[in-house]
Amino acid sequence: MPERVLLTEPLQQSEAAADHIKYRNAALKAWVTIKRKRREAASRGVRKIEEFVPPAVVGSISHPEMPPLQITEDSFGRGLIKIFQKTPEDIVCGRFWELRWAFGCPLDCNYCYLRGTMKGRMRPSFVKIEHVLAALDEAFDRIKTPSLFNSGELSDSLMNPFLMARIADRFESQDKHKLVTLSKFGPKAVGFLLEKPRKQVICAWSINATEVAKLWEKAAASPEKRIEAAMLVSEAGYDTRVRIDPIFPIDGWRSHYEDLLHGIFSAFEPRRIILGTPRGLWKTIRYAKAAGIDMSWANFFKEDSGWGKKLDFEQRSEIYEWFYDKLSSMGYDQRRISMCKETTSMWDGLKKDYTPMTCQCYGPRGYSA
């Protein structure tokens, strides 16, 4: 009869360790599978990275009615970072840096100028993040004057929070330049901002009166949700700003916009407020009509300017004076208010100080607000 072999204590420990490793590897494999399935579920409906547009496509985009740039060297990353300059004699709007990380917007507001910029195409397209980060490194190295980089000119800044988080992190690698995000999204898009506060990021929200949003901003977050998102990042320590633009003189507009101001200031106090009235670039109107968009927003236009059609001078002046007076009555410093793409005659008529040929919102004034 064969002799029985008894397991020694060290051998038993060895087998127990092997079992532990086996179970641990099985658990790790299961977790990897779960993560992969989650990524696949989250990416459904999102185009593959190979389909992202090359930098040259975004770099070549020209804004409607904008003349060719005379200063071609003011561009980095094959046009991913580019000077915006629109300086017709009658418009107070000058140079600022555009960060062209993407173009298009899923919110598809009826009056959006991107409809003309993109020749009717509003579906978002993105640049590979590696190209964007390389362009930022180049710009950080060569742009000596502290500057703002506006990421919301060709797209909504928060339409892809994962990519914007990578961009925001890159700005934290230096302490001179700042990223500006501009959005109409709500609280669900700001998680990355709350998880890790960043010193070089300025957060801005485009917020309109509720009645205006119901008419022409139907896919965007409600004004209340935008205010909530702005409040959250403000409480997290971000420089938080508000853009009330375009201000439409719909019936009862004073009451509607007074409600908006009270809603904003009951939640937080913006570091800066940008005002604007509707602008109707001819390409925007053309492609909006072609898409069958509700064009009632264009019924307010009465005169032409170097930046498309506008409300008449008297009505715009009345709107701006009302906002300045209302904000002053709420204790808000008028020096922290600016008007976007307005005429020199309007700034002069309202006796407001401005710097000619310079962007009042995203230029030096905006940096030091």
Q: Are 94 and 356 in contact (CB under 8 A)?
A: yes
Residue 150 has pLDDT above 90, yes or no: yes
Note the pLDDT of residue 134.
Answer: 97
Contact status, residue 172 vs residue 119, Cβ threshold 8 Å: no
Q: Report how far residue 93's alpha carbon sits from residue 77's, in angstroms, rounded to the nearest whole number.
A: 24
* CA-based end-to-end distance of the chain: 94
Confidence band of 48 (pLDDT split at 50, 70, 90): very low
* pLDDT per position as a tens digit, 217-255: 999 999 999 999 999 999 999 999 999 999 999 999 999
Backbone angles phi, psi at 190, to 5 degrees: -105, 10
Mean pLDDT of 343-362: 92
Tell me the H-state helices in the chain: 9-42, 55-59, 114-117, 129-142, 161-171, 191-195, 210-216, 223-235, 253-267, 282-290, 313-329, 344-349, 364-367
Q: What is the DSSP letter of 54?
A: P
d(CA 369, CA 367): 6
Average per-residue pLDDT for the chain:
87
* Beta-bridge mates of residue 76: 81
Q: Tell me what pLDDT residue 201 has.
A: 98
Our CA angle for 159, 160, 164, nearest 5°, is 110
Q: What pLDDT does 116 receive?
A: 84
Confidence at 57, pLDDT banded by 50, 70, 90: confident
Are the beta carbons of 95 and 157 closer than 8 angstroms? no
Percentage of residues in the chain having pLDDT higher than 70: 83
Give the mean model confidence (pLDDT) for residues 179-204: 97
Mean pLDDT check: name the lowest of 49-53, 88-92, 149-153.
49-53
Beta bridge partners of 82: 75, 98
Lowest mean pLDDT among 106-115, 155-164, 310-319: 106-115
pLDDT value at residue 31: 65
* Mean local confidence (pLDDT), 358-362: 91
Model confidence pLDDT, tens digit, residues 252-310: 999 999 999 999 999 999 999 999 999 998 889 999 999 999 999 999 999 988 778 99
- pLDDT on residue 369: 77
Question: What per-residue confidence (pLDDT) applies to 85?
Answer: 73
- Kindly give, in sequence order, each residue whose CB lies less than 8 Å from that of residue 192, ignoring residues fewer than 6 positions away: 161, 162, 164, 165, 168
- Lowest-confidence segment of 159-163, 199-203, 292-296, 364-368 by average pLDDT: 364-368
- DSSP state string for 1-51: -PPPPPPPHHHHHHHHHHHHHHHHHHHHHHHHHHHHHHHHHHTTTSPPGGG
pLDDT reading at 86 higher than 70: no
Q: Which residue has better confidence, 88 or 149? A: 149
pLDDT, tens digit, 9 for 90 and up, residues 193-223? 999 999 999 999 999 999 999 999 999 999 9
Is pLDDT above 80 for 127?
Answer: yes
Between 323 and 87, residue with greater pLDDT: 323
Question: Which of these, 155, 220, 143, lies nearest to 182 by C-alpha position?
Answer: 155
Alpha-carbon distance of 84 to 62, in angstroms, equals 10
Is the pLDDT assigned to residue 61 strictly greater than 90? Answer: no
Residue 49: which pLDDT band, with cuts at 50, 70 and 90? very low
Query: Please, are residues 217 and 249 in contact by the beta-carbon 8 Å criterion?
Result: no
Model confidence at 44, pLDDT cuts 50, 70, 90, reads very low
Q: What domains does the chain contain, in order, with CATH numbers?
A: 49-367 (3.80.30.30)
Compute the distance between CA of residue 268 and CA of residue 270 in angstroms, rounded to an integer.
6
Q: What is the model's pTM?
A: 0.83
Q: Residue written as tokens 């985009």?
A: 61
Of the ranges 127-141, 161-175, 225-239, 280-294, which one carries the lowest mean pLDDT score? 280-294
Count of CB atoms within 10 A of residue 41's CB? 8
Distance CA 111, CA 96 (A): 23
How high is the pLDDT of residue 13?
54
DSSP 8-state code for residue 99: E
| Contact (CB, 8 A) for 338 and 332 | no
Residue 34 has pLDDT above 70, yes or no: no
What is the three-state SS of 109-141? Answer: CCCCCHHHHCCCCCCCEEECHHHHHHHHHHHHH
Pick the residue with more confidence: 360 or 117? Answer: 360
pLDDT, position 24: 63
